[in-house]
Structure 1
Amino acid sequence: MTEILLNDTLAFTYPVVRKGESCPLIWDLRDPPSSAAQLVPYGQKHSTSFKFLQSQFATSPRVTGLYILCDLLPYPWKISARNQKGVTVGDVLEAIYQVARTPLTTEEWDRLPSKQRQRVNRVFDVRWTNASAPEKERNRGLKRVDCLLQSTRFAGLSMSYDDDFTCILTLSRNLD
């Protein structure tokens, strides 16, 4: 069986290796993937075009499908990045973003414990009040990303030991 390696842009490493950062890609799941930036030496952010991320394969060797799991999600929301020419870094970010921006269903909401619902409501209130069109965003309702509370910062992917085509998504607390 061939070992699949993640692109360094996506790969999680323990923060002590990178002096505080676990991944060279800085991205908040609440924002579109086009807002992602890469760290350059000395910890500075460098704007990265989404077109560039779309040109970089997510794995070596390239694969046409990649599944992503995250223990912070309250439900097993399926995140799947697909591309017949090979999954790119951009495809991975888009897949995560699409699942994060999916409206929370009534069933998902009802299954949350009461205390968790209060926390999610507070996060939702902050999100919609800070939106460029607050009332429009409020009317769109709760999104799955609200269930992540403050842990919306992409911290990298790790390949699963159980399945060659599955990655584990690590998130960290947002710094702002």
Structure 2
Amino acid sequence: MPTTPSIVHPLLSHQPYTMLEGMKNPSLLSWNMREAPSVFLRVDSSPIRTLRSHELAALAIQPSAHHLRIRCGIFSDSDTWYIEARNPSGVTVQDVLVAIYEAFQQPYGNEEFNTLCPKTQAMVLHAYHARVRAMPHPRLAWEAGIQRGDCLMQHTWFGGLSLAYEGGDVENTCMLSLRRVDDQPIYSSPTRVAPRPAPFR
């Protein structure tokens, strides 16, 4: 019988009901999902620290699973498209973060784009143009076309994972929460953690 994960690691969990006073982020991570996961390991002397290697290697869910499916409701094809993290030894925090990043680098084809309403198309194109202008090689980025991450528009910040309750018919499935750029906390990317999470057993 398919089962959903019983516990999501605190670093990945969407936890708006346990937020400290003054914190805007319903996740312990501060991560712009358009940035490569390699920024997690950057050394930082700030009191708000970067992720440590043992945290990246921690299991993403318990009980441990070889795969984790992550859905993102912002997409019109969210019933059929999803992010999947895999690891035969058990999906880790890093596996999840890498899977999310790589999924949003995927091309977003004309067929999918044409299903969007004109207003949403304009917003996606605006995000696409802004990303292209910010790239070190704009021409290459332009020729590669729209990415799925452009469809996030301003909602590019990680808001955590929640268990998906779909009548028990989907195994190891979570929902990805998103945050708007203008909702980001006072500290900026690269990813930082505040405060230190409780041990995950």
TM-score bracket relative to the smaller structure: 0.7 to 0.9
**2:195 counterpart residue number:** none
TM-score, normalized by length of structure 1? 0.86
SS for the counterpart of 1:45 is: coil
In structure 2, what is the Cα distance between the partners aligned to 1:129 and 1:23? 29
1:114-125 alignment runs, 5 A limit: 114-125=118-129
Aligned to 1:166: 173
Long gaps (5+) in structure 1: 38-42
Q: Contact conserved, 1:69 with 1:79, CA < 8 A, in 2?
A: yes
Residue 75 of structure 1, CA deviation: 1.6
Q: Secondary structure at the match of 2:73?
A: coil
Q: Indicate conservation of the 8 Å contact 2:5/2:173, yes or no.
A: no
2:4 touches 2:173 (CA, 8 Å); kept in 1?
Answer: no
CA distance in 1, matches of 2:124, 2:111: 15
5 Å-filtered alignment, 1:128-143, equals 128-143=132-147
**Is the contact between residue 154 and residue 180 of structure 2 (CA under 8 Å) also seen in structure 1?**
yes
Which structure has greater strand proportion? Answer: 1
Residue 15 of structure 1: CA displacement? 6.3
Q: Which moved more, 1:3-12 or 1:142-151?
A: 3-12
C-alpha distance in 1 between matches for 2:4 and 2:152: 34
Name stretches of at least 5 consecutive residues in structure 2 with no aligned partner: 185-201
Please state how far the C-alpha of 1:45 moved relative to its aligned partner.
3.2
Are 2:104 and 1:100 aligned?
Answer: yes
Query: TM (normalized to structure 2)?
Result: 0.76
Which has the higher relative contact order, 1 or 2, with Cα contacts under 8 A spaced 6 or more apart?
Answer: 2
Task: Count the aligned residue pairs.
Answer: 170
* Root-mean-square deviation (Å): 2.2
1:53–1:103 Cα change, 3 Å: farther
Partner of 2:60: 58
Residues 131, 156 of structure 1: alpha-carbon distance in 2 compared, 3 angstrom cutoff: same
Moved over 3 A (4+): 51-54
Secondary structure of the residue aligned to 1:46 is coil
